[in-house]
Amino acid sequence: MPSLEEPDKNLRLTNLVLRNFRNHQEFSLKGLQGITILAGPNATGKTSVVEAIQLISALKSFRASQIGRAIRWGQTAASVIATIESDHRQLDLQLRIEEGKRSYRLNGKARRARDLRGLFPAVTFVPDDLGLAKGPSSARRGALDDLGAQISKNFAMVQSDYTKLVRQKNQALRDEASDTVIDSIDEVLTLVGVQILSHRSVMIKRLLPYFQLYYERIAQANETADIQYIPCWNEENQTQWTFEREECLAIFTSTLQQARLQERLRRKSVVGPHADKVVFLINGHDAAHFASQGQQRSLVLAYKLAEAAVIEETLNQRPILLLDDVMSELDHQRRDQFMSMIEEDIQIFITTTNLEYFTDEIKEKALIQYLGGDNNEA
């Protein structure tokens, strides 16, 4: 029998209970299997259900607000309780939010969030994601790092260390610390930063074949999709980077030294993985500037499907798909193509205001849960 925290390809979320989470005093779903459609008008709590599932699977929320705001107004704590099952085992996973902090329990025992990474992964698709192809590079960089955190506990720790180092350096620059102090921070920053570069390089290599395959199927056009990673020190020569460790260390260190005056003037760190670019390309051209809206949306759909494929390939665990009100943002053709490419045995949760977005075949297979009534928040 697999250990509690070992990935299991056939895990399914079978039961879900929300207590004092957002606008839900108590909300439950039982007997979940394949496709679950949460239907109803806006402001009935559908998005909150998807957010709760993301917090117990991907261990983060797509909502930017502080986690303490997930507690229902007038209450002091919120909880999300999930039963996750396969043919081999049953896991009881609980999230409690109190005093602005999260705590997790797995089968009754306290667990750190980082210990649960990869146990029950998810791919989340929200309307804001449709701007991924044309939006700022930071959005694509963030999407890549979110994927990395789910498939590699080591990456999640390295990323956390790097973020702390950048904050430490920014504070030192604001305090006008000596070059000796900045040098000591930069020495560690380069070592940690190169690890991030290496992880990102591997992730792009894994994503790219799926990304190109799905884009070709969705776009149904003679076009080539690509993902390009451009380190901040290599913007003038936008070719594929080798990410060879010693070479990266040398150039990273040199670029930091050259940027010292600029960083002191701006009082913040401007060199490193946090400033690198991730670009989606169509036929070699930056999709943010040269792709149509339809092409950009096809790129995003392909990227999300590629994420799911990489998670399964890496962890031997099928992710669940969380689709929050994205069907209304897609035309009929892309809706049907997207749904047809999702593997039959992947568990999906979809929110919608209109069931007409779905084929009769999907509606017949799905558990449809209607939300409405007294809820007063999305």
CB 124 within 8 A of CB 136: no
Q: Which residues contact 263 (CB under 8 A, 6 or more apart)?
A: 173, 269, 270, 271
- Ligand-binding annotation for 36, yes or no, is no
- Ligand-binding annotation for 46, yes or no, is yes
For the chain, what is the HEC assignment? CCCCCCCCCCCEEEEEEEEEECCEEEEEECCCCCEEEEECCCCCCHHHHHHHHHHHHCCCCCCCCCHHHHECCCCCEEEEEEEEECCCCEEEEEEEEECCEEEEEECCEEECHHHHCCCCCEEEECHHHHHCCCCCHHHHHHHHHHHHHHHCHHHHHHHHHHHHHHHHHHHHHHCCCCHHHHHHHHHHHHHHHHHHHHHHHHHHHHHHHHHHHHHHHHHCCCCCEEEEEECHHHCCCCCCCCCCHHHHHHHHHHHHHHCHHHHHHHCCCCCCHHHCEEEEEECCEEHHHHCCHHHHHHHHHHHHHHHHHHHHHHHCCCCEEEEECCHHHCCHHHHHHHHHHCCCCCCEEEEECCHHHCCHHHHHHCEEEECCCCCCCC
- Ligand-binding annotation for 43, yes or no, is yes
CB-based burial label for 125 (10 Å; 0-12, 13-18, 19+): buried
**Among 347, 346, 378, which residue's Cα sits nearest to residue 126?**
378
Residues shown for the chain:
378
* Residue 179 in tokens: 């070059």
- Ligand-binding annotation for 351, yes or no, is no
- Ligand-binding annotation for 163, yes or no, is no
- Ligand-binding annotation for 2, yes or no, is no
Give the C-alpha separation, 339 to 332, whole Å: 11
Point out the annotated binding site for ATP. 40-47
Point out the annotated binding site. 40-47
